[in-house]
């Protein structure tokens, strides 16, 4: 079996780091991993985690998804410019009242989360089409399906990813290519910690009193509780993604967290779109005690069924 070239973005920490290490340590050595990051000075955690795979089944390269020249230079440095599996993982978050966010902040999120993928696709897709072989894996989010309070711009960037990939997937079939959206719920990584810490520092002076109170005293408090209850680890997401990559017929969409599925299912249960919005509103503003009890129940369910979060080891 020929070794597949895997290009992964955003590998300095979190999901990208876990994915790079998981694939590089594949017992059958099916993958040559090119783990990329914008700033190579942040490579030490990956170097340490990679261990003996470094220089064998894993190489670290510089790639800034917000720069076309950087994307091209990285792909040009690969053997025959061949990418068999692209894993688009680089991203950034943004939470808070829309009145308190600058347009520059919003544009940066869209440029990284959405146009970052577009730049990668433009550089890599033509060769995949020519060879009629390739798998594009996009680390999306359940927020690309269902928007969440105070995640307006981040959710918008993920909705953009999902719509873009839905369109591209139809064309990809013609060239025998696979596209897969990995849709985690909350994931406990440095990414989320930074988003939360940035949220604590937001200047709320431009928001009205009710909105500021909702964000500070309700959302930020619930943020931590939800992550403690529903949060998966980066290694969980890496294992789910590994399974998708090694399937003969990988699905277009894959949600990694079964506890979150009922929330996203609401969207498809009502064509008007009212049901999920009214349900979330009711949970947050009218039945706070029930919501908190539900979170505690989910904690118990998760504790009793942790095996559902870490898929069985690959037997292939």
Catalytic residues: 154
Instruction: Yes or no: say if 31 and 59 are a contact pair by the CB < 8 Å rule.
Output: no
Q: Where are the alpha helices (DSSP H) in the chain?
A: 14-24, 44-50, 68-76, 103-113, 115-131, 152-174, 190-200, 209-213, 220-230, 234-245, 261-269, 274-281, 288-304
The encoded tokens of residue 257 equal 């967290």
Is residue 172 a known part of a binding site?
no
Is residue 144 a known part of a binding site?
no
The DSSP string of 16-42 is HHHHHHHHHT-TT--EEEEEEES-GGG
Is residue 110 a known part of a binding site?
no
Residue 275 to residue 292: CA distance in whole angstroms: 20
Is residue 109 a known part of a binding site?
no
Give the C-alpha distances (Å, rounded to integers) separating 84 from 50, 87, 127, 129. 21, 10, 10, 11
CA 202, 229, 25, 253 torsion-angle sign: negative
Is residue 23 a known part of a binding site?
yes
Is residue 30 a known part of a binding site?
yes
Is residue 158 a known part of a binding site?
yes
Is residue 15 a known part of a binding site?
yes
Is residue 185 a known part of a binding site?
no
Instruction: Yes or no: say if 146 and 255 are a contact pair by the CB < 8 Å rule.
Output: no
SS3 category, 174: helix
Is residue 12 a known part of a binding site?
yes
Is residue 29 a known part of a binding site?
yes
Is residue 132 a known part of a binding site?
no
How does DSSP classify residue 313? P
Is residue 21 a known part of a binding site?
yes
Is residue 24 a known part of a binding site?
yes
SS3 category, 187: strand
Question: Reading across the β-sheet that carries 253-255, which strands appear in turn?
Answer: 58-62, 31-37, 4-8, 85-88, 135-139, 178-183, 253-255
Instruction: Yes or no: say if 124 and 172 are a contact pair by the CB < 8 Å rule.
Output: no
Is residue 111 a known part of a binding site?
no
Is residue 221 a known part of a binding site?
no
**Which residue numbers belong to the known binding site for substrate?**
141
**Which residue numbers belong to the known binding site?**
10-38, 64, 141, 158
């Amino acid at each position: 079996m020929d070794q597949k070239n895997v290009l992964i973005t955003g590998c300095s920490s979190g999901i990208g780091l876990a994915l790079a290490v998981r694939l590089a340590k594949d017992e059958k050595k099916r993958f040559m991993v090119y783990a990329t990051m914008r700033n190579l000075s942040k490579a030490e955690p990956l170097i340490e985690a990679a261990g003996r795979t470094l220089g064998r089944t894993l190489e670290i390269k510089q790639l800034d998804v917000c720069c076309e020249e950087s994307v091209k230079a990285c792909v040009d440095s690969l053997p025959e410019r061949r990418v068999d599996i692209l894993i688009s993982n680089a991203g950034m978050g943004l939470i808070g009242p829309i009145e308190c966010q600058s347009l520059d902040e919003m544009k940066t999120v869209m440029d990284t989360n959405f146009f970052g993928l577009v730049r990668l696709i433009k550089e890599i897709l033509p060769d995949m089409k020519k060879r009629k072989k390739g798998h594009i894996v996009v680390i999306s989010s359940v927020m690309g399906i269902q928007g969440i309070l105070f995640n307006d711009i981040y959710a918008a960037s993920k909705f953009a990813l999902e719509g873009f990939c839905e369109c591209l997937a139809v064309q990809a079939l013609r060239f025998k290519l696979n596209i897969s959206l990995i849709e985690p719920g909350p994931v406990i990584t440095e990414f989320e910690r930074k988003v939360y810490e940035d949220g604590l520092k937001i200047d709320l002076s431009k928001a009205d009193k009710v909105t500021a109170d909702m964000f500070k005293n309700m959302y930020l408090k619930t943020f931590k509780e939800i992550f403690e209850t529903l949060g998966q680890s980066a290694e969980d997401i890496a294992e789910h993604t590994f399974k998708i990559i090694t399937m003969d017929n990988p699905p277009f969409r894959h949600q990694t967290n079964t506890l979150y599925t009922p929330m996203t299912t609401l969207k498809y249960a009502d064509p008007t779109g009212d049901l999920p919005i009214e349900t979330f509103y009711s949970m947050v503003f009218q039945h706070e005690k029930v919501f908190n009890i539900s979170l505690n129940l989910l904690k118990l369910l998760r504790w009793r069924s942790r095996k559902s979060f870490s898929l069985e080891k690959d037997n292939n």
